[in-house]
Amino acid sequence: MKPVQLYTAGTPNGQKVSIMLEEIKALNPSFEYETHAIDMSKNQQKEDWFLKMNPNGRIPTILDPNNTATDAEGFPVMESLAIMLYLEKKYDDKHVFSWSDSDPKGENYRNQVLQVTIFPHIHSANHSISTPVPRMLTPFLLSPLTSSSTPLQWCSWQMAGQGPMQGQANHFRMQAVGDSKNVVPYGIKRYHDETVRLYSVLEAGLEGREYLVGDGKGKYSLADMLTFPWALWYRFAGIKHEEVGPNVKAWIERIRARPAVQKGLEVPSKSELLKKLDDVSRQTRRREKERERERERERERERERERERR
């Protein structure tokens, strides 16, 4: 088996694919991939050699030399969701992270995907953002998901909602630096609030669950791999720690503890932002422990006052 070629950078979209490649590699010792770091500051993704593989000129992109059905050099795949669906189909043959096509209910769930895919665009463009969890999403995202469910509905939610909205929140917030004339208060608030709303959807979808899809507590799948990298970076969109619910926080830590995820996050290299995120996470954990100690001290003081009143 020849190594799959990955063209990427250390962004959430790039990390989705590198995490999945590392997960596949952990399952299959014969599977390998090679990384080609793309310097987006130099617009390498817009150079002719890259555009031949990906006319859209964006990362990530893969070239699979093991698939020569249409090209002797291999099969190129662009767009993170398409890449991950391709990798799942071709290299997760034991369905460790997926569900078999032979499932009799599979087609029903694929039809539901279409409804959920377009909804985040319509809602974010035309409606207020005061409703924590849109009722239209409830039958698909919040109802118990059986093993016959596919992760596509959460993947569509991520691609159509979380990624675009959080990406815009990042953009407008980064423009609001110093004396920049590019500050657009409405844009900053608009995308911040919409991103917070989307995290309330994720919070509700993880209620009583460890993963997004599957029976019982759920099964770690493509849906988690796809959504996790953006969730990991919520602070850089200006989302406060307290604006993210406990289910999401626990889910982030659960996935980040996976060895393959840790390796995937460092592809093509461990970025300064990731190091900064590690520092912020450690500081947050210290503050939470200190707040818990203070709450315990306050509870003890209250118990002491109660004893004195008796």
Q: Using one digit for the tens of pLDDT, what is the confidence trace for 151-190?
A: 444 454 455 445 555 555 555 555 555 555 556 676 677 7
pLDDT of res. 123: 40
Distance CA 229, CA 237 (A): 13
- Whether residue 297 is contained in a domain is answered as no
In this structure, how many other beta carbons lie within 10 angstroms of the beta carbon of residue 37? 16
pLDDT of res. 58: 85
CATH number of the CATH domain containing 239: 1.20.1050.130
- Whether residue 218 is contained in a domain is answered as yes
Distance CA 57, CA 42 (A): 13
Name the residue with higher pLDDT: 294 or 260. Answer: 260
pLDDT band at 261 (very low <50, low <70, confident <90, very high): very high
Residue 149 has pLDDT above 60, yes or no: no
Long-range contacts of 107-110, Cβ-Cβ distance < 8 Å, separation of 24 or more:
109/148, 109/149, 109/150, 109/152, 109/153, 110/150, 110/152
Name the residue with higher pLDDT: 123 or 17. Answer: 17
pLDDT band at 131 (very low <50, low <70, confident <90, very high): very low
Percentage of the residues of the chain whose pLDDT score is greater than 90? 31
Token output for 117: 């895919």
Q: Return mean pLDDT, the chain.
A: 76
pLDDT of res. 164: 59
Which domain, by its residues, includes 186?
A: 4-119+154-278
- Whether residue 111 is contained in a domain is answered as yes
Weakest mean pLDDT among 20-29, 100-109, 136-145, 167-176: 136-145
The backbone torsions φ and ψ at residue 216, rounded to the nearest 5 degrees and listed phi first, read: 60, -125
Q: Of the segments 127-131, 168-172, 298-302, which one has the largest average pLDDT value?
A: 298-302
Distance CA 148, CA 23 (A): 22
Q: Mean pLDDT throughout 241-255?
A: 94
- Whether residue 113 is contained in a domain is answered as yes
- Whether residue 308 is contained in a domain is answered as no
Total domain count for the chain?
A: 1
Weakest mean pLDDT among 86-90, 107-111, 162-166: 107-111
Give residue-wise pLDDT tens across range 194-242.
Answer: 888 888 888 998 999 998 877 788 889 888 888 899 889 888 777 888 9
- Whether residue 230 is contained in a domain is answered as yes
- Whether residue 241 is contained in a domain is answered as yes
Predicted TM-score (pTM) of this structure: 0.71
Distance CA 172, CA 187 (A): 6
- Whether residue 54 is contained in a domain is answered as yes
Percentage of the residues of the chain whose pLDDT score is greater than 70? 69
